[in-house]
Amino acid sequence: MSAGEFELINHYFKPAPDALNPASVLLGIGDDAALIQPDAGQALVVAADTLVSGVHFLADAPAAEVAQRALRVNLSDMAAMGAEPRWFTLALTLPKTWSDETRREWVADFSRGLKDCADGYACSLIGGDTTSGPLSISIQMLGQVPAVKALRRDGAGLDDFVLVTHTLGDSAAALATLDEDSLNVAEAALDETDRAYLQSRYYRPEPRISEGVLLRDIASSAQDISDGLLADLGHLCEASDVAAEIDIAELPLSLTLQKFDVGQAQRWALTGGDDYELVFTVPEQNMPQLAMAQAQGRIQATVIGRIVSGAGVHCELDGAPFSVDTTGYRHF
């Protein structure tokens, strides 16, 4: 007997009868659509991402890690808007060539990773779809935010500081460790702890939800870094009709990334993508508030430049222009 759509949904994704169901979910998995009730005075925030095998994750990647990555990249979109994630839907495309046993094993591992991540970020799976075709995962995430406080890309102003959360470039380095033919990573003298750290940064990027909520009252604009700092900061500048000047020497690099050639590490930090950190702008008058939050351990962020008039993102190193061959990941 083949594992049909409804059997897969009911067995692996539908909550158990005794599972707690958030009061906001009026009708969840099992009908044609879900019914949800946002909190009073909140605007709905909706985002969606598709991950395709061989493009966004390795074909032989562990299913549980694929699930973690798929949900976390959508959670990052919530963080970029200063929103709190609440609900999500899942569209799962499974290869027709898989045997029933392979399908069951993969979905069992995938659903376990998905539930672990969803529970950790207090968001509920409320519906979706399954079909056959090239292996891919599409998630639509829904969250909420006070409408007047939503972070947007189009609010950056002249002389605002440009900042990023935590460190950049780790995810690109992780991919290099998975494909050592593309780079002699042995020269970086990585140990198993370093490799585990990089793999975690790739498969389990940390959505900066609490930081996004904090930045509602501090930042003038924000964007998550999925396609690379240069590309995503460029999107922010375009939306705000401004330019940015950044100092390459100020890019925050992890201790593991610092084991690589400095030029390579900086290129990864600029264009590697998949870090899912936040790049945001802060007016000078709000910097003391941000500094206080940093001192309290509520956010980790680094100033990398300023907003200026003009267009695009301009890099410099040691006071001289710094040119980059590519700006980041291109979807098409």
Residues 140, 172: one domain? no
Residues 165, 96: one domain? no
Which amino acid appears at position 60 of this protein? D
Residues 11, 134: one domain? yes
Residues 167, 139: one domain? no
Count Cβ atoms below 10 Å from residue 298 Cβ, excluding itself.
13
Q: For residue 32, give the CATH number of its domain.
A: 3.30.1330.10
Flag whether 329 is in a domain: no
102: which DSSP letter? H
Is 166 annotated in a binding site? The answer is no
Flag whether 327 is in a domain: no
Where among 147, 171, 195 does a domain terminate? Answer: 147
Is 109 annotated in a binding site? The answer is no
Is 39 annotated in a binding site? The answer is no
Is 200 annotated in a binding site? The answer is no
Is 128 annotated in a binding site? The answer is yes
Q: For residue 261, give the CATH number of its domain.
A: 3.90.650.10
Flag whether 156 is in a domain: no
- Which residues of 283-327 form beta strands (DSSP E)? 301-308, 312-317, 320-321
Is 77 annotated in a binding site? The answer is yes
pLDDT at residue 221, as a whole number: 98
User: Domain residues for 255?
Assistant: 161-321
User: What is the C-alpha to C-alpha distance for residues 44 and 52, in angstroms, rounded to an integer?
Assistant: 27
Specify burial of residue 325 (Cβ count, 10 A radius: 0-12, 13-18, 19+). exposed
3-state SS class at 305: strand
Count Cβ atoms below 10 Å from residue 42 Cβ, excluding itself.
15
Tokens representing residue 281 in the block: 């702008």
Beta bridge pairs of residue 113:
none
User: What is the C-alpha to C-alpha distance for residues 233 and 327, in angstroms, rounded to an integer?
Assistant: 10
Tokens representing residue 256 in the block: 């593991």
User: What is the C-alpha to C-alpha distance for residues 274 and 248, in angstroms, rounded to an integer?
Assistant: 19
Flag whether 332 is in a domain: no
Flag whether 166 is in a domain: yes
Is 18 annotated in a binding site? The answer is no
User: What is the C-alpha to C-alpha distance for residues 284 and 302, in angstroms, rounded to an integer?
Assistant: 14
Residues 124, 165: one domain? no
Flag whether 248 is in a domain: yes
Residues 88, 188: one domain? no
pLDDT at residue 17, as a whole number: 56
Residues 166, 188: one domain? yes
Residues 185, 87: one domain? no
User: What is the C-alpha to C-alpha distance for residues 258 and 203, in angstroms, rounded to an integer?
Assistant: 20
Flag whether 71 is in a domain: yes
Residues 213, 270: one domain? yes
Count Cβ atoms below 10 Å from residue 287 Cβ, excluding itself.
15
pLDDT at residue 177, as a whole number: 84
Residues 81, 177: one domain? no
Is 129 annotated in a binding site? The answer is yes
Residues 125, 19: one domain? yes
Tokens representing residue 185 in the block: 């990573």
b vs e for 266-277, b when ≥16 Cβ sit within 10 Å of the residue's Cβ? Answer: bbbbbbbbbbbb
User: What is the C-alpha to C-alpha distance for residues 107 and 12, in angstroms, rounded to an integer?
Assistant: 7
pLDDT at residue 36, as a whole number: 86
Q: Which parts of the chain sit beneath pLDDT 50?
A: 1-2, 186, 330-332
pLDDT at residue 1, as a whole number: 33
User: Which pairing describes strands 136-146 and 84-94: parallel, antiparallel, or unpaired?
Assistant: antiparallel
Residues 283, 173: one domain? yes
Where among 147, 179, 195 does a domain terminate? Answer: 147
User: What is the C-alpha to C-alpha distance for residues 308 and 318, in angstroms, rounded to an integer?
Assistant: 19
Is 154 annotated in a binding site? The answer is no
Q: How many domains does the chain have?
A: 2
Number of helices (H), then strands (E), in the chain: 9, 13
0.85 cut: is pTM over it? yes
User: How does pLDDT run across 238-264, given as a tens digit for each residue?
Assistant: 999 999 999 999 999 999 999 999 999
CA 83 from centroid of its chain's CA atoms? 14
Where among 147, 180, 198 does a domain terminate? Answer: 147
Is 312 annotated in a binding site? The answer is no
Flag whether 107 is in a domain: yes
User: What is the C-alpha to C-alpha distance for residues 131 and 232, in angstroms, rounded to an integer?
Assistant: 32
User: Which pairing describes strands 312-317 and 243-247: parallel, antiparallel, or unpaired?
Assistant: parallel
